[in-house]
Amino acid sequence: MQVTILGGGGFLGRRLAARLAAEGRVGPTPISGMTLFDLMAPAPLAAPFPVRCLAGDVADPAQVAAAIPPDTGLVVHLAAIVSAQAEADYDLGLRVNIAGTEAAIAACRALPQAPRLVFTSSVASFDGGQAAVVPDEGRQMPTNSYGAQKAIGELLLADATRRGFLDAVSIRLPTIMIRPGRPNRAASSFVSAVLREPLLGLPATYPVPEDFRVWVASPRRATDWLLHAASMDTAPLGRDRGINPPGLSASIRDMLDALEVAAGPAARALVQHAADPQVAAIVAGWPAAFAATRARHLGFTPSEPLADFITGFIADDLEATRADRARG
């Protein structure tokens, strides 16, 4: 079976690709080859099967079709314009987040057999703010363009599944922390920064009150969820292809407390509040917690505690991030 990861050059795409390379299969099915597709060609990956690393535009149907060979059994669609950038550039968000999903559907529709397509949606497709604990049947009412575009993508993929073009599972990812590397243009970038930067000996700021809660997941757990979605039995999903995975609700204070335990008071002292009304307005509508009962019944592993987020980052990503940041 061939596997294609759209957005395969990003940190989550690379992590998923490495896990697939190490395991050599999707569920019980051996992988015969993998394609990593991104705006810039992803770095080569060692694997026991051929790996293609392609540069291209996810909104170009021909380029996406070329990245999805006829014997593809799994497509993981991670490519996206993230929250603050999608809010700042409406047309770019539509082009990548909507036209890119349409291109993925068209490519899957042309295959001789419908593949599994795992789509990374987002908690940003919901509203409710700090008072919310979103039930599994909660209605998606985005408060930002990124969330709206993700919700539209989910509907398109659910309809494509109904039509038999593909077999979709949409994972509404929490905010992923601790992200390696450098800050990005996501509105939630500060959530990783308040832990990552002090671990590097650098200052960090957050634009919300210290008691502001965020629904979060670690890169390790998010990768587990994507792998489970790639091979799970989708019959129990019926027509509802959206999954709220079992993340963790944590306040900024919780994060700083965990940081102090792991790295000491001096690390915590590097983190300060700094108002940013634009970012605060975007994240204010995001729900602080989800029930995620259905996901647990479907076999999705619950989040680990915050302390493990920090030890996981130190083990997996700290040195590489330090080296990356040292390069300027």
CB 280: neighbour CB atoms within 10 A?
16
Distance of alpha carbon 309 from its chain centroid, rounded? 16
DSSP β-ladder status, 2-6 and 72-77: parallel
Q: Rounded to an integer, what distance in angstroms lies between the CA atom of residue 191 and that of residue 205? A: 9
- Where in the sequence numbering do the catalytic residues fall? 146
Tally of residues, the chain: 328
Nearest CA-CA partner of 253 in 211, 306, 192: 211
Q: Rounded to an integer, what distance in angstroms lies between the CA atom of residue 105 and that of residue 168? A: 10
**242, 159 Cβ separation under 8 angstroms:** no
Q: What letter does residue 8 receive in the DSSP assignment?
A: T
